Amino acid sequence: MRGQNPSLYKTLVSHYKIRMKKLFMTLVFATLTQHLIAAEDLVEKKEFQLKSYKTVSGKIIKNLRIGYESYGKLNSDKSNAILVAHHFSGTSHAAGKYAQTDATPGYWDSIIGPGKALDTNKYFIISSDTLVNLSPNDPFTKTTGPASINPETGKPFGMSFPLVGVKDFVQVQKKLIDSLGIKKLYAVAGPSGGAAQSIEWAATYPDAVPRVIAVVPPGLSLPPYVISLLNLWSMPVKLDPKWNKGDYYDKEAPVQGVAESLKMITLSAVYLDWAQTFGNGPAQAGKDPLHSYDHKFAAEAALQARGEARAAMIDGNSILYTARAIQSFNVENNAKKIKAEFLFIPAQYDLIFPPEVAMNASKKLCTLGRNSEVFVLEGRGGHLDGLFKIAGASEVITKFLERPLGSKGICKN
Amino acid sequence: MRGQNPSLYKTLVSHYKIRMKKLFMTLVFATLTQHLIAAEDLVEKKEFQLKSYKTVSGKIIKNLRIGYESYGKLNSDKSNAILVAHHFSGTSHAAGKYAQTDATPGYWDSIIGPGKALDTNKYFIISSDTLVNLSPNDPFTKTTGPASINPETGKPFGMSFPLVGVKDFVQVQKKLIDSLGIKKLYAVAGPSGGAAQSIEWAATYPDAVPRVIAVVPPGLSLPPYVISLLNLWSMPVKLDPKWNKGDYYDKEAPVQGVAESLKMITLSAVYLDWAQTFGNGPAQAGKDPLHSYDHKFAAEAALQARGEARAAMIDGNSILYTARAIQSFNVENNAKKIKAEFLFIPAQYDLIFPPEVAMNASKKLCTLGRNSEVFVLEGRGGHLDGLFKIAGASEVITKFLERPLGSKGICKN
């Protein structure tokens, strides 16, 4: 082109330069603007402490601490607080970023923020780390559990840490809420294990919980199938010889067992489609998995990579403790005490808690005279759709939160 | 009554004695008859040998042997043979009993027998053990795999045994069929991994397979999700330190790893309902799982018992080899060669191969101009319904086997 028509070339180059200059200015402006917005909205991890806490089983945990973060502002009469509880392998980082450079925001960022379903212009969202959280080594997670130092020995508790249940998670959160002067929440919400906590809140503190949003939830108790499944999620940690009955904090950690556990959790939490993109071929071209056992299929290698990516950050004993806590979830006998209205949001292809689990729980609450409805999240992402597709329920959540309590005839299962 | 009417009493006693005598004679006759029938119908395990077999990957297996059993009689023109292939943890024991005292008959006994769907009055059913079968220690299973003695070393192969694929399973079965003088099968059928073999048969030997009955089947290739799942089924064996890279035949076997693997297989193969009967309570009354980590929930203990019950009989390395074989199943590129007509029978709540997997495969075969239909087994037993609820498909199977080949318009997905 250049040889053919020099003047056209010059025109194009000139045009290109102007466009590049415009583009550059736009980028600079955008970056500055973004920084200005971000500086105000960056999330801060706070810490809540208890000198002593007595577990449901009657054991004492001293110097208990958990992390929490909040989004939006608590109003003057402290009536606009929504507590968000996290899932099995999650943390309290539900929305926003700690720093502008963070690759991704918190797990429910698509529904927490100004104008979003959990609208921070209206509500004060508070999200807390659980006890025995899986990520005690994550600098942004604050928890108390088997990896914590036992003040009496100066060494990590390991398996001598008291066992706790979902009810303990909730009782500690209640003390956090109390410390902020909040007598009654506007709602409690959470996905998966966070849904279990939300339902436990409604059963344990019926007067403090008028609304529950239970996403990819168990029913009113953990399905016994999932009690078994959590046994399997825990198994690789215990089978790893480096677990050493939980005594590994001054040795090599059972990272391989943790990685295998995370692989299982991942595969339980997705559906067929997740692996489809990896196809039926080998992980490496030319390395046929029928030629050597060391050769892998692409779909196994992808799962392996997912497990290993987070393994170093996750504590093996804390997997066992969190699994046991979730296994214990059961409010069937306290269901009559519940006063809250419920919005259950199961995911269509959830292999852990298929939608029928939520539907049965919702029917039971309706039978007990509570307002309860089910909205099934569409999508082929399985259990994880409770995180990644939750925006699909934004409108339903907004309406649920705005609906006057005690409205007649709300029973949609 | 006696004091009131002695004559009536005598009449009644006399009547009762006659009835008891009749009942006794009936029982004696029935027992004798049953024994006579049983003696004729008891199943015998036979053995097929090959001096040398070359695997798909080009390795040589010497002195190969696999077991097989048959039910019914091969007709004079050898045109009534139906091959049955077994599932992942199964054996060739598809029907009948080895001894009158056996607790249960073979896995598909409800559809194999006189007057049943695979009618032994009409068809000669032949069922073969796979290579690398999980149960080399079971006296009724004959297989060649990692637990077999390497003739060159006089010691078990361990992980030095050649890797094999589903296609190898099928190629060995073809040689067995050839040895019986059968040129063309009437049909091939099997559940799960057996369905994979059936489909592989149709793709590898299109002229020998006019009909396929694929129960709780993969599609035309293993869904990559299940490639990942099989990686997890294999994992506990490898994580058990006693596995020792497959070298354990003169030491303690990795029984714990095998038990954990069998627990995973069990939980993958059932649905929510399986565990429901165990409830949310502890395994032992008064032993609260939140009081000691050693206390278990009933649902975990039940799963544990299931895993441990079979662990001693199952070989760890053979789990790895069978998993790899099933992972390799893929006839997508040979689908056009298939001449068979298909009956897919998925199970409604199958978590391993949900019905849509069969439906997609059936649609593809229809697109290629083959007759193919899908019948969904109703039931809440999950993948295992392919074994325990298969009688629910009896009528459909009978019609499929009796329908003239090449009937027009058979395309029901």
Picking from B227, B291, B292, the nearest residue to A297 by CB comes out as B227
Over residues A224-245, the mean pLDDT reads 98
Question: Catalytic: A383?
Answer: yes
B37 domain-assigned? no
Cα–Cα dist A35/B39, whole Å: 86
Domain count, chain B: 2
Question: Catalytic: A261?
Answer: no
* Predicted local confidence at residue A249, as pLDDT: 97
Asked if A381 and A374 count as a contact pair (C-beta separation under 8 A), the reply is no
Both B299 and B243 in a single domain? yes
Over residues A392-411, the mean pLDDT reads 94
CATH value at residue B60: 3.40.50.1820
B38 domain-assigned? no
Over residues A108-133, the mean pLDDT reads 98
Contacts of B175 (CB under 8 A, 6+ apart): B48, B50, B53
Which of B119, B315, B350, B385 is the catalytic position? Answer: B350
Cα–Cα dist B410/B401, whole Å: 13
Cα–Cα dist B195/B211, whole Å: 12
Both B117 and B192 in a single domain? yes
pTM: 0.90
Both B361 and B234 in a single domain? no
Q: Tell whether B263 lies on the interface with A, counting CB pairs under 8 A.
A: yes
B272 domain-assigned? yes
Q: Between vectors from CA B362 to CA B359 and to CA B363, what angle results, nearest 5°? A: 85
CB distance A263–B302 less than 8 Å? Answer: no
Cα–Cα dist A296/A289, whole Å: 5
Both B209 and B97 in a single domain? yes
Cα–Cα dist A206/B337, whole Å: 65
Both B139 and B127 in a single domain? yes
Both B135 and B268 in a single domain? no
What residues in chain B have per-residue pLDDT under 70? 1-40
Q: Is the pLDDT at A141 greater than 50, yes or no?
A: yes
Q: Is the pLDDT at A25 greater than 80, yes or no?
A: no
Over residues A276-305, the mean pLDDT reads 97
Name the phi and psi angles at A374, rounded to 5. -125, 130
Q: Of B263, B288, B323, which one is at a domain's C-terminal end?
A: B323
Reported as a single tens digit per residue, the pLDDT across B23-36 is 555 555 445 444 44
Show which of residues 140-179 on chain B sit within 8 Å of chain A, judged by CB atoms: 159, 163-165
* Predicted local confidence at residue A322, as pLDDT: 98
CATH value at residue B289: 1.10.1740.110
Longest dimension (CA), chain B: 91
- Of all residues in chain B, the one with the smallest CA distance to A272 is B225
Both B360 and B388 in a single domain? yes
Residue A323 is encoded by which pair of tokens? Answer: 């699994």
Over residues A378-400, the mean pLDDT reads 98
CB distance B270–A225 less than 8 Å? Answer: yes
A100 domain-assigned? yes
Q: Give the gap in angstroms from C-alpha B44 to the nearest C-alpha of chain A.
A: 33
Residue A249 is encoded by which pair of tokens? Answer: 């904090």
Residues in B touching A280 (Cβ below 8 Å) = 221-222, 224, 227, 330, 332
CB distance B275–A227 less than 8 Å? Answer: yes
Over residues A245-264, the mean pLDDT reads 98
Both B182 and B318 in a single domain? no
A294 domain-assigned? no
Residue B257 is encoded by which pair of tokens? Answer: 């790893």
Enclosing H/E stretch for B399 = helix B394-402
Cα–Cα dist B318/B311, whole Å: 12
Both B57 and B147 in a single domain? yes
Both B219 and B232 in a single domain? no
Domain extent at residue A172? 46-227+324-412
- Of all residues in chain A, the one with the smallest CA distance to B240 is A239
B331 domain-assigned? no
Picking from A222, A229, A239, the nearest residue to B267 by CB comes out as A229
B74 domain-assigned? yes
Reported as a single tens digit per residue, the pLDDT across B275-317 is 999 999 999 999 999 999 999 999 999 999 999 999 999 999 9
C-alpha distances out from residue A48 to A97, A142, B59, Å: 20, 9, 64
Q: In whole numbers, what is the pLDDT of chain A averaged over residues?
A: 92
Cα–Cα dist A135/A140, whole Å: 9
Q: What is the 3-state secondary structure (H, E, C) of chain A?
A: CCCCCHHHHHHHHHHHHHHHHHHHHHHHHHHHHHHHHHHHHCCCCEEEEEEEEECCCCCEEEEEEEEEEEECCCCCCCCCEEEEECCCCCCCCCCCCCCCCCCCCCCCCCCEECCCCEECCCCEEEEECCCCCCCCCCCCCCCCCCCCEECCCCEECHHHCCCCCHHHHHHHHHHHHHHCCCCCCCEEEEECHHHHHHHHHHHHCHHHCCEEEEECCCCCECCHHHHHHHHHHHHHHHHCHHHHHHCCCCCCCCHHHHHHHHHHHHHHHCCHHHHHCCCCCECCCCCCCCCCCCCCEHHHHHHHHHHHHHHCCCCHHHHHHHHHHHHCCECHHHHHHCCCEEEEECECCCCCCCHHHHHHHHHHHHHCCCCEEECCECCCCHHHHHHHCHHHHHHHHHHHHHCCCCCCCCEEC
Which of the residues A59, A232, A331, A360 would you substitute to probe the B interface, choosing the one with the greatest number of B C-beta atoms within 10 Å? A232
Query: Among A69-83, A109-123, A399-413, B240-254, which is the least confidently predicted range?
Result: A399-413
Both B263 and B372 in a single domain? no
Distance between first and last Cα of chain B: 68
Q: Tell whether B330 lies on the interface with A, counting CB pairs under 8 A.
A: yes
**Hey, how many other C-beta atoms are within 10 angstroms of the C-beta on A183?**
12
**Hey, how many other C-beta atoms are within 10 angstroms of the C-beta on B286?**
7
Both B397 and B275 in a single domain? no
A233 domain-assigned? no
Picking from A298, A327, A351, the nearest residue to B289 by CB comes out as A327
